[in-house]
Structure 1
């Protein structure tokens, strides 16, 4: 690793290396509950709404007991709307409440509530996993990327998942814009997830890019 890249990486992860799952209080592991919570978070993050609001709404859903597909299904539509509202997820609350209920039913019916079964149905293939994820209401290609960026911390089958948004952020910082070299900088799947989240954050903010560059130059 070049010294310049090393300094940029250290500054980037120090300031922005928080996964969205971690921010939402999800203790990510290769188990049904945290994987489902990540799917819910990816659904919320897919809307044209701030990441902070999506994370806050996820926390409210989980605190209300809707962190499993069974819990989500057993909640009434109004219960889900109310939880989203407490997280200030109001612009899309009614539609999202419907999508979350329908998605939980799909997961229970097709994969017995366990996203590991979806992964296994896809043979661990990253692209096929992404395609299956888009069968959930509210999860399009963007949502699938969000899920895969975070889940690579516990699903080595999909690592490295470094999509266009991640590579755009890398380019703005002068880091490699190719998946292979960028993945080598991060190393483990857990660090890849942190790096991916950090690069998505800075890709949206010139101020953050300048801050990281300045810190790396010290």
Structure 2
């Protein structure tokens, strides 16, 4: 157990930043940060590098497209240009369309406020998933990313450790049981734990570094 705690400590120390934090989103339970996190989750779910998705989320914000009203009111070309600024070029045209359609859905169905979705789901994760899946371009992977990121502000869904996080745990030799993983993390924010485990799932060098550092700590 002490070895596993060392591994988890090294993982959180080195890679415990959430993707929202990396994208400059000060996540709290208010409309704009929640919407920006949903956009980030949609970008992260595509088959591109996470760093490009994060940069593109920042570029959308820098272009003023930081809430559903501004996203919906922007032209398609403005959305394409912002995505391109972030390096998001492979899917930029389709994604620009989806972002516009999704922003209009958020405005029309949820009053521009994702807390409406939370209230309607009332703690039912399946209902929440079903509602979020209505967003154009947001499939199961994107929904999981969103829930991983918001679980500390929507605490009724914490700990949210999906298949990707458990894959990271397995690579690190950590328990694949969510309850056992949580016991190893102490009072660390659950979203940071999930983000760190995802980075281990995506990058073998993260695993190698954490195991080596934990081994050094143990000697």
| CA deviation after TM superposition for structure 1 residue 205, in Å | 2.0
> Which deviations, in whole Å up to 9, do the C-alpha atoms of 1:10-30 show, x marking residues without a partner?
100111111000000000000
Structure-2 separation of matches of 1:153 and 1:90: 32
Residue segments in structure 1 that go unaligned for 5+ positions in a row: none
Aligned Cα root-mean-square deviation (Å)? 1.1
| Conserved? CA contact 1:169–1:203, under 8 Å | yes
Q: How many residue pairs get matched?
A: 216
2: CA distance, partners of 1:33 / 1:140: 21
**Residue 166 of structure 2 corresponds to residue 146 of structure 1:** no
Q: TM-score by structure 1 length? A: 0.96
| Pairing of 1:182-193 with structure 2 (within 5 A) | 182-188=181-187, 191-193=189-191
1:40 is displaced (CA, Å) by: 0.5
Partner of residue 68, structure 1: 67
> 1:211 matched to which residue of 2?
209
1:114 maps to: 113
For 1:106 and 1:187, the matched residues in 2 are separated by 39
Alignment of 1:86-101 (within 5 A): 86-101=85-100
For 2:84, the equivalent position in structure 1 comes to: 85
Question: 1:182: Cα distance to partner?
Answer: 1.2
Indicate yes or no: 2:166 matched with 1:167: yes
Q: Secondary structure at the match of 2:174?
A: coil
Aligned-residue offset at 1:121: 0.7
